[in-house]
Amino acid sequence: MIQDAATPELGITPLNHKLTYRAGHKINLKFKVNNTSAHDLLLSYNLGSTIVNPQMKGSFVNYKIPQFISNMSGMVKWQLVNTTQRGRFTITPVSQTVKMETYIGPPSIIAGNSDYSMAVSIPLDSLDNVQKDDTAVLFNYNKETTRTQNLSTVDNLIAFDYIYSTEKSGNILFAANVDEQFSKEFTVEIKAGLPVDFTLRESVITHMQTEIN
């Protein structure tokens, strides 16, 4: 079992601390102490900080991490108040994706291969945690009879792709997926391009008829 990166304190020994926990699992931090006093535990996590009170049993102290923290992926730092004993651990998302939060914009672009829209997809686990970086996300496109796929990966909480216009106007249907979990289907409208200047040239044809008596 891998211990977390704890700073030692005389008379306080961490027991079975791990570097990584899975979101949704119970997390208890245990210590062995050489005296009968116990310190509060300060936790710093994604959304702020909180204090956890100790539970003593003989020469052992246990801290139950609140569920609202153990359900949330990310790094958690801890410190025993009024000591130099500190450490950290990471909570990873549940591996299965159950929802795809997907957005697209703008919803319409101009034909001509120069305009584009952007699709952003956020794969979530059952506890609303974003899947870890490098999770593969497929972007699926359908225009008339042509189907294409682009592969992206989660980076800093999102995966994204660009949707470029084509020469012809029409609609592009789009959906993203991770494994068997798909987003809802979106439509990007490709509108006719902007008008360009043109010149009309007048051509005059003269018919001449000569009559000889």
Domain with 69, as residue range(s), is 12-92
Residue 98 has pLDDT above 80, yes or no: yes
Do 124 and 152 fall into the same domain? yes
Do 44 and 23 fall into the same domain? yes
Residue 161 has pLDDT above 90, yes or no: yes
Do 82 and 114 fall into the same domain? no
Angstrom distance (rounded) from CA 54 to CA 80: 10
CATH of residue 168:
2.60.40.10
Pick the last residue of a domain from 49, 66, 92. Answer: 92
> Which burial class, exposed, middle or buried, applies to 117 when counting CB atoms under 10 A from its CB (0-12, 13-18, 19+)?
buried
Average pLDDT over residues 115-137: 96
Residue 144 resides in a domain: yes
Band (pLDDT 50/70/90 cuts) for residue 3 is: very low
Q: What is the pTM for the complete model shown?
A: 0.77
Give the model confidence (pLDDT) of 17-74 as tens digits.
899 999 999 999 999 988 767 899 999 999 999 999 999 988 899 999 999 999 999 9
Do 59 and 107 fall into the same domain? no
